[in-house]
Structure 1
């Protein structure tokens, strides 16, 4: 979110949108693909009842908003955010309360001084990281003589997807399949509804690279849609090693055509 807002405020809409589009494609093709190479995932019914439909809805809305006039207005940003709030309300109401038992020996109190200290340091690090990432992306694009969209779709999006990759791989190693796929799908939903939503509210995103609207957005829709048939075929509610290879190969093809 900070990277996209920083890019939009600095007048680099291609990085703001390319970061989200590339990250969503990378989350499915690269992150989920690598996770499946480690462990198969048994998919819960929530995937196709709430998670996948919302992911698909967010992707389709982004497609139409960009295709209509090539920009994201404040009104469209508010629509994204309101849809996110509605989705969270539905999730909370649908899921039962889960009680977590903590070991008294490991439960520790943290002072308010330490809490706010961590928040301040973390916030500063996020801001500094976004400054360096955006400035570095712009300089890299200019140095290589390629468009900022290419750098955003590849370097920036992969950089901002590293947390999803790390946490999903750890969850896969621990065989926590719900956390793995939930982290990936949830991140994609938040990328569009929250990141682009708040970015557009703060600074309407205009003059988006035509390649994003004529090439990248279609790959985003394809990667969003393909998850449903993969979950049902050939084995219902299961994603395995074969699907992992397919996703990684598809992502490699996307990157190849992006940098051409």
Structure 2
């Protein structure tokens, strides 16, 4: 938690209501440069709203320029956020572009009396957008859109040499558990969170397997094997089969 970031949000943000509450929640997780990577579910719980509404508010804050979102760039495949009120000119006491009536001419304060020199350094994220623009950015799309695209191109959503399957094989996770995870993954992102967008769904699924996002299995020390958790058994029953069907997605 950064008191400095929260203070900047209170002083400079033009957001209000639920958007301001969400921005403050992110600030509560952030470091002194405004960077944080809480999951959408964690943020939703913190502001007492549904994940879908939380996702909508995140998009509004991003569109309004108060929040930078680098998708899948955080720990465990979560989004990496940066509170945009923490711009160098704001921290140094110069022109404040978020102020309701910004000054027409601003003179930077003398360097020896800069109020918060530790926060005015050039951060890597300041130049990251330019670097990404040069390399080109993959188009973000919903899982349903990606599946339709792959069907039209005649290619699988999850290639047989994908990071998810390579990791599962090296970790010894059974194939039928991975198949069950895929079915649960599809349900989450086509029914529960249909508006969720990622640029690389194969990598997102790999992150879900590595982090066991869906909590479908655990490792049993006694048998030295992976076994389904209660959630996994429930998901298996919800699919209506004792074992997942033959793999049809790679």
Q: Same fold (TM over 0.5)?
A: no
Give the structure with the larger helix fraction.
Answer: 1
Which structure carries more relative contact order (alpha carbon 8 Å, separation 6+)? 1
Give the structure with the larger strand fraction.
Answer: 2
* Bigger CA radius of gyration: 2
- What is the TM-score of this pair, normalised by structure 1? 0.21
